[in-house]
A and B are shown apart, each in its own frame.
Chain A
Amino acid sequence: EVHLVESGGGLVKPGGSLRLSCAASGFVFGNHHMNWVRQAPGKGLEWVASITRDGRHILYADSLKDRFSISRDNPTNSLYLEMSSLRAEDTALYYCAREGVGANGGSFDHWGQGTLVTVSP
């Protein structure tokens, strides 16, 4: 069974940094592109970043590319999101999401339960 477990969220002051992790299990991690998606309290889903299977190609939402960095470590089945210069508007539940393959490519077929990041003085 596919499992995605996020960790690393917490309370951070404006301007601070945080590193989120996603531990994957139940599938061949290196066979899937991976993504981070966030959801502000009471709001909709917002795509943050994606990384290809081999980690060579990375894409970011235009508004976040200067402050966020996605990476992965296939041998340890781990996905990461480094966040810096955090702002109040970055407060959100951050989800790790697996991208499907083949006909399922481009869709997010498994999601974690999210880790909450709160940016506040």
Chain B
Amino acid sequence: SSELTQDPAVSVTLGQTVRIACQGAGLRTYSANWYQQKPGQGPILVIFGENNRPSGIPPDRFSASRSGDTASLTITGTQAEDEADYYCQSRDSSGNPVLFGGGTKLTVL
């Protein structure tokens, strides 16, 4: 398969933990990178590789994991400013070298 599938929308109560999933056959081999995009802004890398954060990304809030064909981004103690679209990105060995998931719109209640 050459797709990465994400739930279109997820909501979370302020201060709670939320997991955003990304499913695709390529994830059995390759890790996922995760991007945050707020309205009117370009995407920002929040997780790369198995579970690495660029400088400036809070290590106590953003983490990632992978199991089988599913990668997950977990936000702990979700803040209002975490409300955004989140995209996973990985590779597909049988097709396009770069794939993005369809994105998940995170709403913080």
Contact = CB atoms under 8 A, between A and B. Distances in A.
Interface of A: 35, 37, 44-47, 50, 59, 61-62, 95, 100, 103-104, 106-114
A45 B48 contact: no
A112 B44 CA distance: 10
Contacts of A59: 97-98
A108 B87 contact: no
Interface residues of B, number: 26
A111 B42 CA distance: 6
A109 B45 contact: yes
A45 B42 contact: no
B48 A62 contact: no
Contact of A109 (B54, B96, B97, B101): B54
Contacts of B97: 50, 59
A119 B70 CA distance: 36
Interface string B36-59: 010001111100110010100000
Interface string B13-42: 000000000000000001001010100011
Given A45-B35, A106-B30, A111-B42, 20 more contacts: A44-B101, A45-B100, A46-B100, A47-B96, A47-B99, A47-B100, A50-B98, A61-B96, A62-B95, A62-B96, A103-B49, A104-B48, A104-B49, A104-B52, A106-B91, A107-B33, A107-B48, A108-B43, A108-B45, A111-B44
